[in-house]
Amino acid sequence: MTEKSNVYIEQHVLLLKMVIIERTWEIMDITEKEIYVQWHDFAYQDDLACAELLAESHPRNAVVLGYYSMHNISKRYLGDVFSIKIPQDDTHSLTLKALKEKIEKELTRKRIIELMNKAKEEYDIFSKPKPELLSALLRAGRSERAAHSYYQSKQGAEKKAGAEKAREFIETIVKPFIAIMRELDV
């Protein structure tokens, strides 16, 4: 084999690896869609209710469940509006990726701004409405969940989530996100 053919083979192997690594979502058929959407509708509401109940007694778990309510309402929206089913593997990254992609549509952007303008009286975070804020909130929620789910460092382990932090997370990140996602229909 020549050096040129080795380079050619290496490039194609690298491209093949990149294609395999680049995961994407599935499009559901109508029979699965209804069940998928109903399940995620139930799950986000249940997760939010549990997060609020646990904020005082188990704040770490309240933060984790708060994020999962955000994650599940995102999957409900993606399934309901776009028939997208997010697979189990790398579900958090793919949900965020799909949400970011779908909110780039002009009609969706306009609707998000409309909903944020309506919600800004209740939630300060929407004082300057921008569609990108939705994916930023989901990313922030994911980051908080990770910080409270996994051992990060000795210093991180010593900083336990308090009830105040859990309530703040639920009120300033989770609920504003859910308020918009609940009404988003395009």
For residue range 21-69, what is the model confidence (pLDDT) as tens digits? 456 899 999 999 999 999 999 999 999 999 999 999 999 999 999 999 9
Q: Read off the DSSP letter of residue 46.
A: H
- Element of type H or E holding 134: helix 132-149
Say which residue the tokens 């904020």 belong to.
55
Residue 88 dihedral angles phi and psi, to the nearest 5°: -65, -40
Strands 84-85 and 26-27: antiparallel
Give the model's confidence band at 20: pLDDT under 50 very low, under 70 low, under 90 confident, else very high. very low
Give the model's confidence band at 19: pLDDT under 50 very low, under 70 low, under 90 confident, else very high. very low
CB 174 within 8 A of CB 69: yes
Domain that holds residue 125: 3-183
CATH of the domain at 55: 1.20.120.330
Residue 27 dihedral angles phi and psi, to the nearest 5°: -105, 125
Number of domains present in the structure of the chain: 1
